[in-house]
Structure 1
Amino acid sequence: MRTAYSVETVRAAERALMAQLPHGALMQRAAAGLAASCAGLLRRVYGSRIALLVGSGDNGGDALYAGARLARRGAGVTAVLVAPERAHAAGLAALRAAGGRVASAEAADGVLRGADLVLDGIVGIGGKGGLRPDAAQLVRAAADGGAILVAVDLPSGVDADTGEVHGTAVRADATITFGAYKPGLLVDPAREHAGALRLVDIGLQLPARPDAESLQHADVAALLPRPAAESDKYRRGVVGVVAGSARYPGAAVLAVAGALHGGAGAVRYTGPAADAVIARFPETLVTAGPPSKAGRVQAWVVGPGLGDGPEARQALEDVLASDVPVLVDADGLRLMPADTVRARAAETVLTPHAGEAAALLGVSRDRVESGRLAAVRALSERYGATALLKGSTTLIASTGGPGHGRRTVRVNPTGTPWLATAGSGDVLSGLTGSLLAAGLPGWDAAAVGAYLHGLAARERGAAPLTAMGVAEELRGAWRGVAG
């Protein structure tokens, strides 16, 4: 599992470790890892040309000490000081002692355009807001030069805690981060600026509960429900689907497809798209009555393509009154009464995209997309539910229950832009609903569902896909994770 910690937590861990080490030892550890990573990105170190963009403070010091190590290996290293009067003095002395040079800001264009690798050491993890004009100009020159651009700890100009980007920020080819991942490195829009991520272990002792975490294959495999020898369709989980309408029958078909391909022992469907569902999936158990009369289920999925008529409202009310977990998506999100959701004893999972989340929170869509971590936490806390915020980075937040405080946010690492296609969210809803029916808590069902959904899309490669195509690849994604 990849875990991320806030700036405050990382700073506290650094202070505790520095109290136990000789002065400057922690920075030397970081610089050693940074230099080794840069060496690995270059075809050869000896004779290469390396430029350092050096700001004030420790971030610039890391870059200078790493530059000194690379200079001792035969690289031509030149530092461009963004704030000469506040450059890290000891790091600057080390660079010069190793044969490195310092160039003026006026000569920076030539240095940057001739470099094989540029180290971004302008702003550290405590930086807020975009780059200042002079620094932004240097970054543009570095990007125009075609060198490998490596960010020190995180790209300058992005917010380490939130992933927000306000103004100009570095777009790195790789980011070498120290001690712990920072939440902003995992979450868009900052994630797009980070490039390939590498963590350098500098010996920090961090709390057991991170601020964000990203599941990997082994974590998902451990959560996957597996039938036992005595399992029947009811023990494996029956999921009810309330979706579709005369106008959008396909939403019902896609939600049922996600549920059937997501491991459910059986799927019960109730709604006006029964003929379309049975035509595609004859194994579905179809009922004409209200959800409460459909028969036993272990979880409900409600909302995709449901419309907003009185029948839709009544069906949603019926489902929310049940005592089993409920996943609410799409039209269901617009219709659901907030008080009813908060009062439910059983789990509720909400799966909005940014526009739906904005409506639920009463803010603009831009605010949700620029501050995704804050938005998903606010959704979870406001509705007392697990919130899965779909988008370029899908995030999952959940309240920890009474007395447990706010949980870690889970960041899905498998998403792809090709999932931005009509109906893919309906498939995700059905898939996640089947995992709820199999007994996974909402927190885990949402994370596993998002992970498998992204993998299934990747099975089709970097090419256009359809929502049904994603559903059909779910079995392959499941096998790939389960091993």
Structure 2
Amino acid sequence: MRSAHTVEQVRAAEAELMARLPEGALMRRAASGLAHAVSDLLGSTYGARVLLLVGSGDNGGDALYAGADLARRGAAVAARLLSPERTHASGLAALQKAGGRVVADDRAAVGHRPAVVVDGIVGIGGTGGLRPNAAAAVDALRGVPFVAVDVPSGVDVDTGRLDGPHVEALLTVTFGTHKIAHLVEPAAGAAGVVHLVDLGLDLPDADLTALQADDVARLLPVPGPDAHKYTRGVVGVRAGSRQYPGAAVLCAAGALCGLAGMVRYVGAAADEVRAAHPEVVVGDGHVQAWVVGSGGGDDAAEAVAAVATDGVPLVLDADALVHVPRVGAGGPHLLTPHAGELARMLGVERETVEADQLAHARDAARRFGSVVLLKGRHTLVAAPDGRVRVTTVAPPWLATAGAGDVLAGLCGALMAAGCDAFDAGSVGAWLHGAGAAVAGDHGPVTAGAVAAAIPAVCRSLLA
């Protein structure tokens, strides 16, 4: 499980560890990891031109000590001090002793463009976007790869928001634990690849986590030796409509991932579903979970009304989301909106949701008393109690028509097989993303191919 901790949690753990270590030892440990990561990125350190953009405080100290390490390896290191009066004194002394230089501007730093820029401007305590002098320095270096120290400067660490000018890093080297901004969009997009340097911090359980392959394998519902199709769970699908029969076919394909024992379909696209999936049982009957709304169009209200009092968990997608207040007991249910749908549910603009995804997913989960799966580049699954899981495995090619229908069916199968809504949403999102990566083989993928790849992903996990 990859955990992301808040600034307050990290600082408390660092203070506890520093009390047991010699002065400066923790910073040097972090700086050593940073220097190794920069060296790996460069490939050959000797003669490489490295520019440090150094702000005040410990973040700048990390950059300066790392610069000293790189200078000792033969790199040509220069530092531009953005807050000279508040520069980390011992870090600066170490850099200069190792042969690094302090310069007044970027061109004087290297004679021409550096091979890499180390962003030591603002640490995890920063708020808001970059100040004008820092923003100008960053802007002047567009096109040069940036390595961010702990987090890209200018992002909001505890929310994942971007509230102004910020660094766009190719690589972020973080210390002790991941931070929320590394996993939550839009800030996660500014972090690039994130490399974690272990500092040995004693951290509490985190409210925001990201499942890894072994976590997903552990959570998969696996049938026992005496299982039959009914004990493995029956998932009901009320999706599609006369306008969108294909959504029913794709939702059923996701439900037919093999994780539940049987799929039952009720709706206007029965002929299309039967033709595409002869193993699906068409007609009403007992189920352990319903999937409602994908491609529902004008039929969505009727479909929600039909299942609202069944007393089983629901996956509500697409057109069913506007009818969330009508659902009955059996929850918490799983709601699967994209940003535009969540914005309508909350009465805000789509851009507002996209700018602060974590806060809005949590708000919706509390407001509706259900688990909310906010689809996106990094999908968020938020529980009413504040826990959030992030899925980061999906390739950009997964942004394709019908993919959400497959995801809804897959989550319904997991719920019918016994997963609660939080596990079903987070495991389903992970399998969905991994299925897209397998089906597309780093290239284009269709929704139907994603559904077809999910059993293979599960087999590889269980092996």
Q: After TM superposition, list the pairs within 5 Å mapping 1:277-356 onto structure 2.
A: 277-287=273-283, 294-309=284-299, 312-337=300-325, 340-341=326-327, 344-356=329-341
Q: Is the 8 A contact 1:49 1:75 kept in 2?
A: yes
- Is this contact kept in 2: 1:269–1:284, CA < 8 A? yes
1:235 positional shift: 1.1
SS at match of 1:480: helix
User: Deviations along 1:339-361, whole A, 9 cap, x unmatched?
Assistant: x44x6243301000001101111
8 A Cα contact 2:394 2:434, kept in partner: yes
- Counterpart among 367, 382, 394 of residue 379 in structure 2: 394
**Shift of the alpha carbon at 1:112?**
8.0
Q: How far 1:32 sits from its partner (Å)?
A: 1.5
Question: Is the contact between residue 80 and residue 109 of structure 2 (CA under 8 Å) also seen in structure 1?
Answer: no
Q: Residue type matched to 1:267 in 2?
A: V
Q: What is the deviation of 1:262? A: 4.5
| 2:181 counterpart (172, 181, 184) | 184
Q: Of 161, 164, 172, which aligns to 1:164?
A: 161
Preserved contact between residue 108 and residue 138 of structure 1 (Cα < 8 Å) = no
Q: How does 1:118-157 map to 2 (within 5 A)?
A: 118-144=117-143, 146=144, 148-157=145-154
CA separation of 1:138 and 1:113: change in aligned 2, threshold 3 A:
farther
Contact 1:113 1:141 in 2 (8 A): no
Task: Check the 8 A contact 2:51/2:79 in 1, yes or no.
Answer: yes
Q: Distance in 2 between matches of 1:368 and 1:299?
A: 29
Is contact 1:109–1:138 with CA below 8 Å preserved after alignment? Answer: no
- Range with greater deviation from structure 2 (413-422 or 95-104): 413-422
Q: What SS is found at the alignment partner of 1:85? A: helix
Q: For residues 155 and 468 of structure 1, what CA distance do their matches in structure 2 show?
A: 37
Look up the match of 1:480.
Answer: 460
What does 1:57-456 correspond to in 2, within 5 Å? 57-105=57-105, 107-108=106-107, 111=110, 113-144=112-143, 146=144, 148-207=145-204, 209-287=205-283, 294-309=284-299, 312-337=300-325, 340-341=326-327, 344-400=329-385, 406-407=386-387, 409-456=388-435
- Taking a change above 3 Å as real, the CA distance of residues 109 and 277 of structure 1, as seen in their structure-2 partners, is farther
Deviations 1:375-411 (A, max 9, x none): 11111111111110001110001124xxxxx32x100
Q: Deviations over 1:213-251 (max 9, x none)?
A: 111111101111122221111011100011111111111
For 1:186 and 1:133, locate their aligned partners in 2 and report how far apart those are by CA, in whole Å. 27
Asked whether the equivalents of residues 329 and 429 of structure 1 are also in contact (C-alpha less than 8 Å), the reply is yes
What are the Cα deviations for residues 29-66 of structure 1, in whole angstroms up to 9, with x where unaligned? 11121112222222222222211100111110110111
- AA in 1 matched with 2:213: H
Q: CA RMSD in A?
A: 1.6
Deviation at 1:117?
2.2
The DSSP-based 3-state class of the residue aligned with 1:78 is strand
Q: Distance in 2 between matches of 1:150 and 1:133?
A: 20
Change (3 A) 1:262 1:379: farther
- Partner SS, residue 142 of structure 1: coil
SS of the residue aligned with 2:71?
Answer: helix
Q: Aligned partners of 1:437 and 1:390: how far apart in 2?
A: 21
Instruction: Determine the C-alpha separation between the residues in 1 that align with 2:142 and 2:9.
Output: 32
Amino acid at match of 1:329: D
Q: Which runs of 5+ in 1 are unaligned?
A: 288-293, 401-405
Number of equivalences: 462
Asked if the contact 1:262/1:430 (under 8 Å) is kept, the reply is no
Q: Is the 8 A contact 1:255 1:304 kept in 2?
A: yes
What amino acid does structure 2 have at the position aligned with 1:302?
V
For the pair 1:24 / 2:20, whether they are aligned, the reply is no
- Distance in 2 (CA, whole Å) between partners of 1:53 and 1:136 is 11
TM-score by length of structure 2 reads 0.96
Matched to 1:259, the amino acid is: A
Aligned partner letter, 1:373: L
| Alignment correspondent of 2:9 | 9
Deviation (angstroms), 1:468: 1.2
- Of the structure 1 ranges 425-434 and 298-307, higher mean CA displacement relative to structure 2 is found in 298-307
Instruction: Please name the residue that 1:403 is paired with.
Output: none
Query: Residues of 1 paired with 2:281 and 2:418: CA distance?
Result: 20
Identity fraction in percent:
55
Distance in structure 1 (CA, Å) of the matches to 2:26 and 2:107: 30
Kept in 2: contact 1:243–1:305 (CA 8 A): yes
Runs of 4+ in 1 over 6 A off after TM superposition: none
Whole-Å Cα distance in 2 between the matches of residues 417 and 473 of structure 1?
17
Measured in 1, the distance between the counterparts of 2:17 and 2:281 equals: 60
Contact 2:167 2:190 in 1 (8 A): yes
Q: Hey, what's the Cα distance between the residues in 2 that align with 1:126 and 1:113? A: 32
